């Protein structure tokens, strides 16, 4: 037994409350080192009875480690526990005092009490639902009267200052299209007053940008979305603002005498608009001065902005930009006040790397899962094989609580990446990548145009105007039928996922919920494959495979969903 590889702490993602009397406990060990793990547990103040025993399940395995998990129930909400480990020829107890041959109660791990705010409760309505991301200026021009000077036609290549005239009215007019894809959530890139087309440099947090419409248009959009059973999420840009924002302009004018001097990350005075002596977005963009989100006045200001719009229009959530650079103090306060308004408000953090610090139940409900995107792109491009893909996915999942797996925002691309279709090089591979995401656990995000195989290179080319002429194309049909299938499938939205390894260039997995199973198989190989797996008695639900006597025949570049009546 490799004792140095065994790990548990009685906090964070290794011991967390599931509900009022249930604690999830985890133990990590060297891959394939332990034959069995048993957790012994009872009430913290029970000093007489024998502990209960529960075998732990191996839930994840990467190239290095296995992760075991069990859910233990103590109605008094107070826990003490230890682990019994079995490997070939060896049995040992693992405790808060390390490895022991015998255990006394004082050696146990303690989880003293489950308080109500220990329980992570992301909004149940959002679990597994499809997010449709709309870059408003590039989506649809519903009201040409608000177009800024120099607006260019759809189909024209974008520049860094290009406007296409997309607006809130255009989103309203295309709501039925988005709903027809099965999307539950519309996520709008920033819509507040700004001097840029992208609106990530806010001049006034209390005004809708006039090129997109008026506050009344946002009200109509939210109402129309709600009538269709859809939710609306806005983009909150609170790490930085525009250098033209009156708050920062006051500092430029009054320098150290400004009452907002501590609202920004000023290194020293004097400052000017060139970026001299103050921090900015990425430390590189003078026009986007960084807000001091540790300042209680800034925390109050931003919280009030979010509460204002959320209350006014009954918003359903916020995607929070550069969430990992903003102070925890701001997010904790914002979550507390928003959840007091409605516990069903969804908070999504834009985080490109490990997100577990922000997913402990006090800040975000979920985060963007770019780790999934990178692993999928590398597999599709042939840089890694299926086995390595699953190891990468599992290693990332080990960082998060099991209850979050169906909430992680999985994506194949966004407004900050080269388009998936361009990276992968063909409609066929793009459709397969989209299919994997739409059948996977998590909340799949569709970046506008990905459903019609839109191309686009590095920013700003990845923000081309929507190609409405392609919405009836073959690839759009194939992606749309799977997105609609997902929208109606509780198994794909809420089910667990189990990898099935049947080939180096085949991605296959089983989704299961309450005893119902759906199998997904995608053939990335360059040839037709005949595969045997656990789907012997299943039937083709969707896709282009054929099943005969338990043998699945799948052409190159095709996927299939298999299930039961």
- 3-state SS of 295-355 is CHHHHHHHHHHHHHHHHHHCCCEEEECCHHHCCHHHHHHHHHHHHHHCCCCEEEECCCCCC
CATH for 90: 2.60.40.10
Of 312, 361, 335, 130, which is closest to residue 231 (Cα–Cα)? 130
Rounded CA separation 463/162 (Å):
10
Verify that 221 and 246 share a domain, yes or no: no
pTM above 0.85, yes or no: yes
CATH for 512: 2.60.40.1180
Verify that 108 and 204 share a domain, yes or no: no
CATH for 169: 3.30.750.90
Which residues make beta-bridge pairs with 19?
A: 22
Q: What is the pLDDT of residue 483?
A: 98
Computed on alpha carbons and rounded to an integer, the radius of gyration of the chain in Å comes to 26
CATH for 287: 3.90.400.10
Verify that 230 and 252 share a domain, yes or no: no
Verify that 79 and 170 share a domain, yes or no: no
Verify that 282 and 183 share a domain, yes or no: no
Verify that 39 and 72 share a domain, yes or no: yes
| Domain contains 475 | no
Boundary-marking domain end, from 234, 253, 274: 234
Q: How many domains does the chain have?
A: 4
Peptide bond into 270 cis (omega under 30): yes
Rounded CA separation 395/391 (Å):
6
| Domain contains 219 | yes
pLDDT per residue rounded down to tens, the chain (565 residues): 999 999 999 999 999 999 999 999 999 999 999 999 999 999 999 999 999 999 999 999 998 999 999 999 999 999 999 999 999 999 999 999 999 999 999 999 999 999 999 999 999 999 999 999 999 999 999 999 999 999 999 999 999 999 999 999 999 999 999 999 999 999 999 999 999 999 999 999 999 999 999 999 999 999 999 999 999 999 999 999 999 999 999 999 999 999 999 999 999 999 998 888 999 999 899 999 999 999 999 999 999 999 999 999 999 999 999 999 999 999 999 999 999 999 999 999 999 999 999 999 999 999 999 999 999 999 999 999 999 999 999 999 999 999 999 999 999 999 999 999 999 999 999 999 999 999 999 999 999 999 999 999 999 999 999 999 999 999 999 999 999 999 999 999 999 999 999 999 999 999 999 999 999 999 999 999 999 999 999 999 999 999 998 899 999 999 999 999 7
| Domain contains 251 | yes
Of 350, 400, 392, which is closest to residue 371 (Cα–Cα)? 392
| Domain contains 139 | yes
Is beta strand 346-349 parallel, antiparallel or unpaired with respect to 317-320? parallel
Residue 67 · residue 59 · CB < 8 Å: yes
For residue 363, give the DSSP letter.
S
Tokens 């099943």 correspond to what residue?
547
End-to-end CA distance of the chain: 45
Give the range of the structural domain holding residue 101, as residue numbers without chain letter.
3-118
Residue 535 has, within 13 A of its CA and on its CB side, a CA count of 33
Verify that 153 and 83 share a domain, yes or no: no
Tokens 């595969």 correspond to what residue?
531
Verify that 70 and 138 share a domain, yes or no: no
Verify that 85 and 60 share a domain, yes or no: yes
| Domain contains 478 | no
Q: Which two tokens stand for residue 556?
A: 């190159």
Boundary-marking domain end, from 56, 89, 118: 118
Verify that 212 and 262 share a domain, yes or no: no
Residue 100: which residues within 8 A CB-CB, separation 6 or more? 92, 93, 107
Catalytic residues: 321, 350
Rounded CA separation 157/406 (Å):
37
| Domain contains 268 | yes
In a 3-state reduction of DSSP, which class is residue 486? helix
Verify that 210 and 276 share a domain, yes or no: no
Boundary-marking domain end, from 199, 218, 234: 234
| Domain contains 54 | yes
Give how far the C-alpha of residue 472 lies from the chain's centroid of Cα atoms, to the nearest Å. Answer: 29
| Domain contains 349 | no
Residue 561 · residue 436 · CB < 8 Å: no
Verify that 181 and 268 share a domain, yes or no: no
Range 111-122 burial, b when 16+ CB lie within 10 A, else e: beebeeebebeb
């Amino acid at each position: 037994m490799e004792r140095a590889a065994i790990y548990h702490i009685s906090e964070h993602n290794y011991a967390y409350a599931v509900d009022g009397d249930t604690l999830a406990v985890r133990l990590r060990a060297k891959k394939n080192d332990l034959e069995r793990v048993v957790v012994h547990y009872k009430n913290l103040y029970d000093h007489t009875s024998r502990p209960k025993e529960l075998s732990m399940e191996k839930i994840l395995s990467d190239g290095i480690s296995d992760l075991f998990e069990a859910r233990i129930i103590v109605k008094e909400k107070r826990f003490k526990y230890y682990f019994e480990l079995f490997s070939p020829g060896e049995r040992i107890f693992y405790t808060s005092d390390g490895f022991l041959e015998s255990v006394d109660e004082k050696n146990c791990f303690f989880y003293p009490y489950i308080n109500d705010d220990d329980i992570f409760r992301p909004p149940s309505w959002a679990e597994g639902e499809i997010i449709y991301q709309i870059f408003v200026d590039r989506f649809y021009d519903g009201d040409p009267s608000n177009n800024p000077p120099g607006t260019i036609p759809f189909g024209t290549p974008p520049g860094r200052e290009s406007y296409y005239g997309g607006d809130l009215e255009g989103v309203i007019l295309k709501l039925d299209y988005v709903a027809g894809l099965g999307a539950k959530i519309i996520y709008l890139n920033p819509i507040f007053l700004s001097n840029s087309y992208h609106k990530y440099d806010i001049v006034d947090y209390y005004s809708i940008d006039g090129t997109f419409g008026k506050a009344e248009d946002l009200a109509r959009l939210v109402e129309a979305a709600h009538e269709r059973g859809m939710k609306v999420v806005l983009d909150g840009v609170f790490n930085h603002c525009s250098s033209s924002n009156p708050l920062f302009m006051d500092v430029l004018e009054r320098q150290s005498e400004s009452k907002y001097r501590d609202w920004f990350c000023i290194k020293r005075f004097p400052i000017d608009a060139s970026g001299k002596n103050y921090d900015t977005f990425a430390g590189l963009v003078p026009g986007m001065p960084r807000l001091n989100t540790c300042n209680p006045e800034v925390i109050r200001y931003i919280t009030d902005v979010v509460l204002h719009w959320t209350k006014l229009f009954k918003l359903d959530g916020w995607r929070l930009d550069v969430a990992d650079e903003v102070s925890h103090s701001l997010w904790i306060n914002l979550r507390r006040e928003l959840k007091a308004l409605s516990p069903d408000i969804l908070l999504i953090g834009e985080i490109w790397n490990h997100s577990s610090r922000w997913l402990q139940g006090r800040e975000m409900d979920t985060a963007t899962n770019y780790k999934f995107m990178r692993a999928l792109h590398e597999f599709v491009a042939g840089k890694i094989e299926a086995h390595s893909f699953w190891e990468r996915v599992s290693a990332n999942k080990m960082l998060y609580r099991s209850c979050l797996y169906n909430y992680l925002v999985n994506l194949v691309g966004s407004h900050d990446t080269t388009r998936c279709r361009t990276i992968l090089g063909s409609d066929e591979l793009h459709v397969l990548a989209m299919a994997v995401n739409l059948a996977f656990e998590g909340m799949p995000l569709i970046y506008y145009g990905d459903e019609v195989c839109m191309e686009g290179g590095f920013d700003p080319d990845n923000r081309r105007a929507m190609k409405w002429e392609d919405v009836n194309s073959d690839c759009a049909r194939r992606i749309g039928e799977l997105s609609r299938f997902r929208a109606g499938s509780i198994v794909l939205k809420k089910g667990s996922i189990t990898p099935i390894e049947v080939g180096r260039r085949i991605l296959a997995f089983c989704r299961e919920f309450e005893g119902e199973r759906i199998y997904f198989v995608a053939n990335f190989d360059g040839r037709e494959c005949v595969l045997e797996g656990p789907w012997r008695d299943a039937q083709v639900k969707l896709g282009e495979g054929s099943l005969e006597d338990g043998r699945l025949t799948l052409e190159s570049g095709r996927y299939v969903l298999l299930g039961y009546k």
